[in-house]
Amino acid sequence: MKKLSAGLVILAILIVVGLRSVHAQTVARNAGLLGYDVTKEVTITAMVSGVLTQPAPGMIAGSHLLLATPSGAVDASLGRLGLRGNGAAPVSAGQQVELTGVMKTIKDKPLFLVRTVNVGGEVYAIRNEHGVLLSPQARERASQKTGKKGESL
């Protein structure tokens, strides 16, 4: 009887540990890259005050849009491919843009991880819903599916 009880206790422990592991994997999968969580997305409409194809010292790698918003300056990350290749967002300083993404704190600095850029009535995909950067080839395939230039996924 003691062996049966010990076996049941071990089985219960394994089930609880297994359920916690599944839960942790589900949370990690939903959070995506750099903790990107599509349910926390916001849209920012702002004037572009600067376009950086290369990061300034202290910034994370990739291109950035510097935005002037009513609540202050915002650093918006487009990743290393956001301004390159087919389907790249044609953004310049002085333009009004609408960006959808998630605000994060990276290297102790606020950073807006951009998923889509809406400029001049066209929507350009930068990341997928998991926060993974899209290559120019992936953007081109997406635009062929929709039949529109720069259309997001």
State the average pLDDT over residues 65-78.
95
The band of 142, judged by pLDDT with boundaries at 50, 70 and 90, is confident
**pLDDT given at position 86:** 81
**pLDDT given at position 79:** 92
Each domain of the chain, given as residue ranges in start order, spans 2-31, 35-146
The correct CATH number of 35-146 out of 3.40.605.10, 2.40.10.10, 2.40.50.140, 3.40.50.620 is 2.40.50.140
The band of 27, judged by pLDDT with boundaries at 50, 70 and 90, is very low
State the first-to-last Cα distance of the chain, in angstroms, to the nearest integer: 60
**pLDDT given at position 22:** 44
Q: What residues have CB less than 8 Å from 53, skipping those under 6 apart?
A: 63, 83
pTM for this structure?
0.73
